[in-house]
Chains A and B, each alone.
Chain A
Amino acid sequence: MKKKIKIIFAVLAALFLLIQFYQPARNADNGQVHTADLINIYQAPDSVQAILKKACYDCHSANTRYPWYSYLQPVRFMMENHISTGKADLNFSEFGSYPKRRQISKLNSMQQTIKNDDMPLTSYTWIHRDAVLSKEEKTIMIDWINNLLNTLK
């Protein structure tokens, strides 16, 4: 009986070590400048830039700030999944390449998700405490988007 448990434990440990070798390409732009980035095309003020970068860009841009534990599998696998879904829905690094209509819709959706606290996701803010938006930060974002929408329409 004891032997069986030992074997199971050994197999699990070996599997855990093995999956550490699976390290797919990271979502990192290595300092490359994105001309179509939301921040560049609509001259976001510093206050807006700071919020976007700390609370949105990890999953919605071409560059993720990876935490140390992201090197551990299977955390890495889950995270990469998350990022690719996030980017497919909305990628701020390519925002300028969206048709104007889609940009307007995205900005509308951003406002709504901020108002409803749908984003950033709780699973993200649970670790990234600084990504929890304060009331003031929410107002900054909503007002900026309102102004931007008025110029786009």
Chain B
Amino acid sequence: MKNTFLSAAIMATLLAACQSNGGKTPEQTVTSAATENKETPVPSRDAAAAPVVKTGMADGIVKPYLQLKDALAKDNGKDAAGAGKEIVAALANIDVKALTPAQKKTYDDVASDAKENAEHIGDNADKISHQREHFAMLSADVADLVTALGTSQKLYEDFCPMFNDKKGAIWISESKEIKNPYYGSKMPTCGSVKKEL
């Protein structure tokens, strides 16, 4: 009985979601059809019909990186290792041929280092202190990759002044709220936002 109710609820939500999506599509087709019919389409209208999606080439890496950062902030070495492995895969997926010469230069400098750091994180699920050492280096790599290749997401560069014998280390976050990945539950709010990436 409970199950029937649940599945009905899920169905309803799905239907609603489909409808809200479907509601938009015919409208869009109408507009594009209308522009196509006109001999000289108005440029501003044309731009509105095809919204420009800003796709960052670093997005594939940012996603598992943010998962890694969250796992470390929660002192979860196992999840961190999983995310590390995903970063290795994401690095291999970057379309090197699509890079500009300047982007390629950063990529060549960073990629092998980032890969190695991510591999170490992936292989050390039971040694979170070691994962964090490599996370410090990986974060610098990812920050430079994001700057060079771009991302569609708003990101912040945070700074933890205590890590590595007070030499400090950065990390990247999607929110302004501080959740320290270097010390986890020991010092969850230690650190500050340095800049926007």
A112:B113 contact, CB within 8 angstroms: no
Let me know if B177 is at the binding interface, CB within 8 A: no
A101:B141 contact, CB within 8 angstroms: yes
Let me know if B185 is at the binding interface, CB within 8 A: no
Judged by DSSP, the binding face of B is helix
How many A-B pairs with Cβ below 8 Å? 25
Pick from B116, B133, B134: contact of A102, CB under 8 Å: B116
B109:A105 contact, CB within 8 angstroms: no
B110:A101 contact, CB within 8 angstroms: yes
In this complex, the interface size class of chain B, counting residues with CB under 8 Å from chain A, is 10 to 19
Question: Which single residue of chain A is at the shortest CB-CB distance from B112?
Answer: A102
B137:A99 contact, CB within 8 angstroms: no
Task: Give the total of A residues in contact with B, Cβ under 8 Å.
Answer: 9
- In Å, the complex CA distance between A112 and B116 comes to 16
Let me know if B108 is at the binding interface, CB within 8 A: yes
* Residues in B whose Cβ lies below 8 Å from that of A99: 108-110, 112-113
What residues of chain A have their CB less than 8 Å away from a CB belonging to chain B?
98-102, 105, 108-109, 112
What residues of chain B have their CB less than 8 Å away from a CB belonging to chain A?
108-110, 112-113, 116-117, 133-134, 137, 141
